[in-house]
C-alpha cells in the first residue's frame, strides 16, 4: 500500500469526510459534555471495514485539539488495556500540568474478540469496568476515548454501549468516492473515460482504501496514464473484487455441495478465506465423511498458515492454503448428499473480525504485487 498516496489523498480535516450534519452534531455534543460530572467519556465508532472509522477517530481528536494516543489491540498483545489507561492518564496529569502540553485523547483500534467459551472480549470487559468506575466517581477519566469496532453483536459490546455515545458510519457513498477519485485524477493527471469511471467506482465495493490502491495500481501500470474501457478490462482481474454471487453462505453452500475445479475452489477461498474454514469445520460432519482426520488436518494447516501470513505479511504463503482447500472440497464431495450450511456461535462472534483482517491482508498483498512489478 503506497503510504505517500494515502498521506496525500486521505482527508486531513473532519469537514473533508463529508459526514451528515446529524453525525457532526453528535460528535460535537459528545465533546461538549465530556467535563460534566456524569459525562460520557467513550465514543464508540462502528461500521463496515473500509468505511474510514480509524481515520474518523484521528480527525475528531485533531479537530478538537487533542493529541491522539493510538493503541492497536492487534499489536499491543503484551500490554493489558487497564495498564494502557493507567499509563495514558498518569502521563497526561504530570506532563500537561507542568509543561502545558497538548491534551491527550485515547483511540482503541481493533478491539479483539476472545473466542473462548468463558468470554467474548476481555478488552471490552476491562474497558466497561473502567467506565463504570468513572461513572461512580472512581478513577476519574479526563481524556476522551474513542473505540473502533466492526458491528459485533456480542453481549459485552451491548454492555459497553450503555456507557458510550454510539456513532454508526456507513460505507462511503459513490459521491464521496467520486470526489476522492476526481482529486486523484486531477493531481496525478490520469485521463479516464466517464463510463469507465462509473465502472471503477462500482468495482471497488465502497471502500476508500481499495479505491486509492486501485488508482495507484492504474498510475503505475499505464504508460500513457489513461484508463479506457479496454485497459480497464485488462487490469480488473488483478483487482480484488467482491463478487455478489459469492457472498458468504451462497459461496459456502456451493463449496460444500459441489465438486469444484481447482480454480473454482480457489475463487471461493479467496473471497471468504478467513471464514470458509470455520464454516467447513461447523458443517462437514453432516455428510458423515470417512476422511474426517484428513479434513481436520487441512483445516488446522490452513489456520496455521493464515496466522503466519498475517504476522509475517508473507502473502505468497496463501498458495499453500489453496491446495488444502481444494483437497477439502474433494474429500467432502465424495458423497453426493446435499447439506444446508449453517452458522455457529463461533462464526457469529468471529465473522466481521476475520473480514476486517482479510481486508487488510488484501490491501497489503496488492501493494506487494505492485512493488514487485516496478
Q: Going residue by residue through the chain, which has 374 residues, state the pLDDT in tens, using 9 for 90 and above.
A: 445 677 777 788 898 888 889 999 999 999 998 877 677 888 999 887 777 888 899 999 999 999 888 877 655 544 566 666 665 554 444 444 445 566 888 888 866 544 443 444 566 777 777 777 777 666 677 788 898 876 555 566 677 788 889 998 887 888 888 888 888 888 888 888 888 888 888 777 777 777 887 787 777 766 677 777 877 776 666 555 544 434 566 778 888 888 888 878 877 887 677 788 888 888 877 777 788 889 889 988 988 888 887 777 676 777 788 889 999 999 988 877 777 776 554 555 554 555 455 555 545 544 444 444 44
In angstroms, the CA 263 to CA 260 distance is: 8
* pLDDT computed for residue 369 by the predictor: 46
Length of the chain: 374
Find the helix or strand (DSSP H, E) in which 333 lies.
Answer: none
In the chain, CATH 1.10.8 sits at 174-235
In angstroms, the CA 43 to CA 31 distance is: 9
Alpha helices in the chain (DSSP H): 3-9, 21-32, 53-63, 81-91, 97-99, 122-135, 155-161, 174-188, 194-203, 208-221, 229-235, 248-257, 262-271, 276-283, 292-312, 318-332, 345-372
In the chain, CATH 3.40.50.300 sits at 3-168
The answer to whether 144 and 20 have CB atoms below 8 angstroms apart is no
Q: What is the pTM of this model?
A: 0.58
Domain 174-235 is found in CATH 1.10.8: yes
* pLDDT computed for residue 229 by the predictor: 80
3-class SS of residue 240: coil
In angstroms, the CA 310 to CA 297 distance is: 20
CATH placement of domain 3-168: 3.40.50.300
Find the helix or strand (DSSP H, E) in which 85 lies.
Answer: helix 81-91
In angstroms, the CA 98 to CA 118 distance is: 44
Cell 453462505, located at residue: 249
The answer to whether 156 and 125 have CB atoms below 8 angstroms apart is yes
* pLDDT computed for residue 275 by the predictor: 80
3-class SS of residue 298: helix
* pLDDT computed for residue 360 by the predictor: 53
Amino acid at each position: 500500500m503506497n503510504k505517500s498516496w494515502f498521506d496525500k489523498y486521505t482527508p486531513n480535516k473532519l469537514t473533508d469526510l463529508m459526514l451528515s450534519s446529524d453525525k457532526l452534531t453528535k460528535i460535537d455534543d459528545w465533546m461538549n459534555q465530556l467535563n460534566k460530572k456524569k459525562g460520557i467519556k467513550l465514543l464508540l465508532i462502528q461500521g463496515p471495514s473500509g468505511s474510514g472509522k480509524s481515520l474518523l477517530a484521528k480527525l475528531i481528536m485533531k479537530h478538537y485539539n487533542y493529541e491522539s494516543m493510538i493503541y492497536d489491540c492487534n499489536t499491543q498483545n503484551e500490554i493489558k488495556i487497564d495498564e494502557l489507561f493507567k499509563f495514558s492518564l498518569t502521563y497526561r496529569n504530570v506532563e500537561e500540568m507542568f509543561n502545558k502540553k497538548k491534551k491527550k485523547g485515547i483511540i482503541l483500534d481493533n478491539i479483539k474478540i476472545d473466542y473462548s467459551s468463558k468470554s467474548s472480549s476481555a478488552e471490552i470487559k476491562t474497558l466497561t469496568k473502567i467506565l463504570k468506575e468513572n461513572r461512580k466517581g472512581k478513577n476519574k477519566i479526563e481524556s476522551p476515548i474513542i473505540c473502533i469496532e466492526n458491528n459485533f453483536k456480542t453481549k459485552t459490546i451491548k454492555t459497553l454501549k450503555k456507557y458510550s455515545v454510539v456513532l454508526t458510519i456507513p460505507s462511503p457513498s459513490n459521491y464521496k468516492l467520486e470526489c476522492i477519485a476526481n482529486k486523484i485524477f486531477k493531481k496525478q493527471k490520469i485521463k479516464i473515460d466517464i463510463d469507465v469511471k462509473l465502472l471503477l467506482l462500482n468495482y471497488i465495493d465502497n471502500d476508500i482504501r481499495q479505491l486509492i490502491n486501485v488508482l495507484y495500481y492504474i498510475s503505475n501500470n499505464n504508460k500513457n496514464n489513461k484508463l479506457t474501457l479496454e485497459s480497464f478490462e485488462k487490469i480488473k482481474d488483478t483487482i480484488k473484487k467482491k463478487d455478489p454471487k459469492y457472498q458468504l453462505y451462497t459461496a459456502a453452500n456451493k463449496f460444500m455441495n459441489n465438486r469444484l475445479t481447482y480454480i473454482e475452489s480457489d475463487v471461493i477461498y479467496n473471497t471468504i478465506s478467513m471464514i470458509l474454514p470455520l464454516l467447513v469445520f461447523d458443517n462437514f460432519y453432516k455428510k458423515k465423511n470417512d476422511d474426517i482426520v484428513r479434513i481436520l488436518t487441512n483445516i488446522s494447516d490452513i489456520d496455521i498458515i493464515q496466522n503466519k501470513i498475517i504476522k509475517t505479511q508473507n502473502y505468497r504463503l496463501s498458495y499453500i492454503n489453496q491446495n488444502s482447500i481444494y483437497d477439502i472440497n474433494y474429500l467432502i464431495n465424495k458423497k453426493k448428499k446435499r447439506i444446508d450450511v449453517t452458522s455457529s456461535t463461533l462464526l457469529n462472534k468471529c465473522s466481521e473480525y476475520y473480514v476486517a483482517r482479510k481486508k487488510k491482508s488484501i490491501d497489503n498483498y496488492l501493494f506487494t504485487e505492485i512493488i514487485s512489478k516496478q
